[in-house]
Amino acid sequence: MRAACCAGPANTSAGPDAAVVAIVGAPNTGKSTLFNSLTGAKVTMGNWPGTTVEVSHGRWQLGDQAVTVIDLPGAYSLDPQSPDEQLTHDLLLDPDPRERPDLTIVLADASRLAHSLYLISQIREHRINFVVALTMGDIAAKRGIEIDVDALATAIGAPVVPTNPRHRTGLKDLAATASSSLTLGHPLFAPSADARRSLDSQPSAENDGKKGDGHTSVKDGKGDACCCVSEANAEERFAWIARTVAATTNAPQGYRQSFSDKVDRVVTAPVVGPLIFLGVMWVVFQITTAVAAPLQDWLDQLFSGPLSDWTRDGLGAIGMGGTWLEGLLVDGLIAGVGALLTFVPLMALMFILLALLEDSGYLGRAALVADRMMRVLGLPGKAFLPFIVGFGCNVPGVAATRILPDAAQRILTCLLVPFTACTARLTVFVMIGTTFFGAWAGTAVFVMYLISIHLIIGMGWLLRKWLWPNLVEDPLVLDLPPYQIPTLRITASVAWLRLKGFLQTASGIIVVTVCAVWLLQSIPADGKSGFGAVEVGDSAYGVAAKAITPVFEPTGFASWETTSAAIVGFVAKEAVISSWAQTYALAEPESDTEPGSLGARILTDFTKSSGGHPIPAALAFMVFLLAYTPCVATLAAQVREIGLKWTLFGVALQLVTAWLLAVAFFQVGRLIA
C-alpha cells in the first residue's frame, strides 16, 4: 500500500515509499488513544480519497524505520453496515495487494474479549499480516479477568501484545513485534485449518471481488444461499470464539456468576423473587406511613388552625367575613386543597424510596418478576410495562400500551391498567389506613397493592378466556441494567419530578374540582334558601348524593358524605379527600379547627353506616376506590388508545367489579368481625 494513505503533509507521514500500518478495532477499544500514543502530535485528518470517511494518519518511528500509521474508523466486523466499515473492509480485503496495509494492528479489549474476537476471527481467515494489541488490561484486572496471552496468540494465530496506550505501557513490545512482522512481510502464522475452511466456503472478497463474506444479505434479503453461508460462517466463528475464551481466560468452564448475577438469582427466582419484592414494598409503605405521620399532623394543624383563622380574620377586616368568599376560601380551597397538601411529606418520602429502588437497578428486576407472572397466566410478556407504569400514574400506563404490537393485546392491557393502584389512590388509602388501622396503616395500604396485583391477574385471565382465547404471546428477553449505587442527583431529580406532578394535580384539577363542589354545595336543591346559605345536605350536591347512596347499602359505606366523595373521585382520586374535607367543614363547622378531626368524622360516619362494623366498611371502601374508574384523564387516554366503545366497556367493568368486591369485602368482613 503506497498511494492514497500517504496523501498528507510530509511531516505527518513517513513518505510515499514507507510501509503502512493500519489500526483497526471495534469502537471504544482504545484505537485512537493507541494511534495518538504511537504518532504523538504529528497527525493529519482528512477524508479518505473517494469517500466521506474521515481517517487520521501519522508517522511512527520503529527504530531506524519510519512507517505511516492509519487510524481506520471503528469496525465491529468485516461485514460492512456503514461507510466507515466499508472502508475498513475494502482496505483489508481489497483484491489489489498494493492497496493493502503492510501490517494491521487489531485492537482487542481484554475486559470484553469475546466482543473483540469476531473481527479477529474474520481477519485470521485471510492472508493479512496482523498483530493483536490487547488493551484495557487494567479494567479486565479490576473485574478479575486474567488472559493467557500466549494461549490467545496460539488460538488466534498471530502475535498478541498487551498494551495500555493511556499509561504508555507495552508500546515498545508492540513496536518490536510490528517491526518483526514488517520485516517478515507476511503473516507469522498461516491461517489455521478451521479459518481456511470458513474462507473457502464463503463468497469473500478474495473469491468474488467486493462483496466481503456476504453478511449484508441478512439485512437486504438478497440471495438465500449467501445468507445461509453467512450464518453458517458466523456460527463457526462463534464456536471458535467460545473455544478461545474458554482456553485463554481464567473462567474457562461454563457460566461464571458475578455479584450481580448472584443477587439476581435470588431476587428474580420464581417463588422467592415475588416474596422479596412484596417484602421490599411493605417496608416502603411502613417507612412512609410511620415517618411522614408527624409531618402530616403538623401540616393538618397549620391548614385547619392558623391558616383558616388568619383568612377569616383577614376577610373580616375588609368586611367580607361570613360571605360566600369566606365559604369558598376557608371551607372550599383551604379545607379541600389543604387536606390534600398534608400528604406532600408522605408522597415525597415515598417517591424518594422508589427512586432509590429504581436507581439501584432493583425495580428492573421487579419488572422481570412481573413479566414472569404475566407469562404464566398467558398474558403478553411485554404487558408488564404498562402495569408498572400504571402503579405510578394510570395515564402514561395506558399510553404505554402502544409498545404492544397486537391490537388485542393493547385493548386487553388498556382495560386492565385502571386496576393498578396509582399514587393518587395511595393518598386516600393512607388517609383511610391511618384513620381506621392506626399502626397497621402501612400494612393496610400494602394489602391494597396486593389486591391490585391479584385483580389485574384475575381480570386479565377472565378477559382473555372470555374475549381473546387465541391471544398469542411474543417471547422476549429483558436486557437488565446492572446494579449500581444510587446517586443523590438522580434520586432527587426523579423524586422531585413526581412530587411536582402531584403538586400540579393539587394546584390544577383539584382546585377546579374544589370550586365546582363548593358551587354545588352552595346551590339549594329546593330553591327556597339563598345561594351559600343552604345546609350542605339540602344542597344540589347533597341531594344528588343522597339519591345514589342506597346503591351502596350492602357495602357498609352508604352515607351520602362518602358516596358523594366517591362520585367526585371520578375526576381524580385525590378529590375524594378534598370533597370529604369540604363536606364536613360545612356540615360541622364548629369542629373543623381540631387537628385530625376529618379522620374522626369519617370514622363516626362509617361506624354509623356499617351498623357498627367500620373496619370491614373501610376495607370495602378502599377496594371500591381501587377498582372503579381512576380519573377522567385516564378515560381520555383510553378513548385515544382503544376508542369510546372499549372505554365504556371498561368503565362498566370497573364499576361492576368495584361494587361486587366492596359488597363481598364488607359482608364477609362483617361476618368474621
Which residues in 411-470 contact another protein (CB under 8 A)?
A: 422-423
Given 4, 146, 201, 238, the residue binding another protein (CB under 8 A): 238
The size of the interface with another protein (CB under 8 A), counted in residues, is 79
* Contact (CB, 8 A) for 315 and 334: no
Q: Give yes or no for residue 363 binding another protein (CB under 8 A).
A: yes
Residue 540: how many CA atoms within 13 Å on its side-chain side?
13
Which residue of 458, 501, 596, 599 would you call a contact of another protein, by CB under 8 A?
Answer: 501
Would you say 28 and 62 are in contact if contact means Cβ atoms under 8 Å apart? no
| Interaction of residue 487 with another protein, rule CB under 8 A | yes
Distance (Å, rounded) from C-alpha 591 to C-alpha 308? 13
Of residues 76-95, which lie at the interface with another protein (CB under 8 A)?
76-77, 79, 81
CA distances from 574 to 72, 239, 341, 515 (A): 60, 59, 10, 14
**CB half-sphere exposure, 577, CA atoms < 13 A:** 28
The one-letter code for the residue type at 644 is L
**Does 255 interact with another protein (rule: CB under 8 A)?**
yes
Secondary structure letter of residue 507 according to DSSP: H
- Rank residues 371 and 605 by Cβ distance to another protein and give the closer one: 371
**According to CB under 8 A, which one of 367, 515, 639, 651 is a site residue for another protein?**
367
- Out of 188, 408, 478, 651, the only residue in the binding site for another protein (CB under 8 A) is 478
As given in the structure block, the three cell numbers for residue 314 are 383577614
Could you tell me if 23 and 68 are in contact, meaning their C-beta atoms sit under 8 angstroms apart? no
* Single-letter residue type at 409: Q
Q: How far is the CB of 565 from another protein (least distance, A)?
A: 23
Q: Which residue lies nearer to another protein by CB, 241 or 615?
A: 241
Cα gap 651→643, rounded to integer Å? 13
Is 175 near another protein (CB under 8 A)? no
* DSSP conformation class of 306: I
The residue within the footprint of another protein, chosen from 266, 275, 497, 648 (CB under 8 A), is: 497
Q: Does residue 98 belong to the site contacting another protein (CB under 8 A)?
A: no
Window contacting another protein (CB under 8 A); options: 147-155, 244-252, 292-300, 452-460? 244-252
The correct pick among 20, 67, 91, 241 for binding another protein (CB under 8 A) is 241
Q: How far is the CB of 447 from another protein (least distance, A)?
A: 20
- Contact status: 224 vs another protein (CB under 8 A): no
Residue 307 near another protein by CB under 8 A: no
In three-state secondary structure terms, 108 is strand
Burial of 105 (0-12, 13-18, 19+ CB in 10 A): buried
Positions 194 through 213 that interact with another protein (CB under 8 A)? none
Is there binding between residue 400 and another protein (CB under 8 A)?
yes
Give 57's strand partners.
44, 70
Q: What is the DSSP letter of 95?
A: S
- The nearer residue to another protein, 234 or 415, going by C-beta atoms, is 234
Q: By C-beta, is 50 or 475 nearer to another protein?
A: 475
Among 251, 283, 533, 636, the residue binding another protein under the rule CB under 8 A is: 251
In degrees and rounded to multiples of 5, residue 535 shows phi and psi of: -65, 135
Examine residue 635 and tell whether it contacts another protein (CB under 8 A).
Answer: no
The interface with another protein within residues 577-616 (CB under 8 A) comprises: none
d(CA 275, CA 268): 10
CB of 602 vs another protein, minimal distance in Å: 27
Check binding of 382 to another protein (CB under 8 A): yes
- Residue 26 in contact with residue 109, Cβ under 8 Å? yes
CA quadruple 435, 439, 445, 446: dihedral, nearest 10 = -170
- 20 SS3 class: strand
Q: Is 191 helix (H, G, I), strand (E, B) or coil?
A: coil
User: Distance (Å, rounded) from C-alpha 228 to C-alpha 251?
Assistant: 32
Closest to 219 (Cα-Cα) out of 47, 420, 82, 105: 82
547 near another protein, judged by CB under 8 A: no
Of the ranges 153-161, 476-484, 562-570, 603-611, which one interacts with another protein (CB under 8 A)? 476-484
CB nearer to another protein: give 102 or 358.
358
Binding mask 516-535 for another protein (x = CB under 8 A): --------------------
Instruction: Provide the mask over 108-147, with x wherever binding to another protein is found by CB under 8 A and - wherever it is not.
Output: ----xxxx-xx-----------------------------
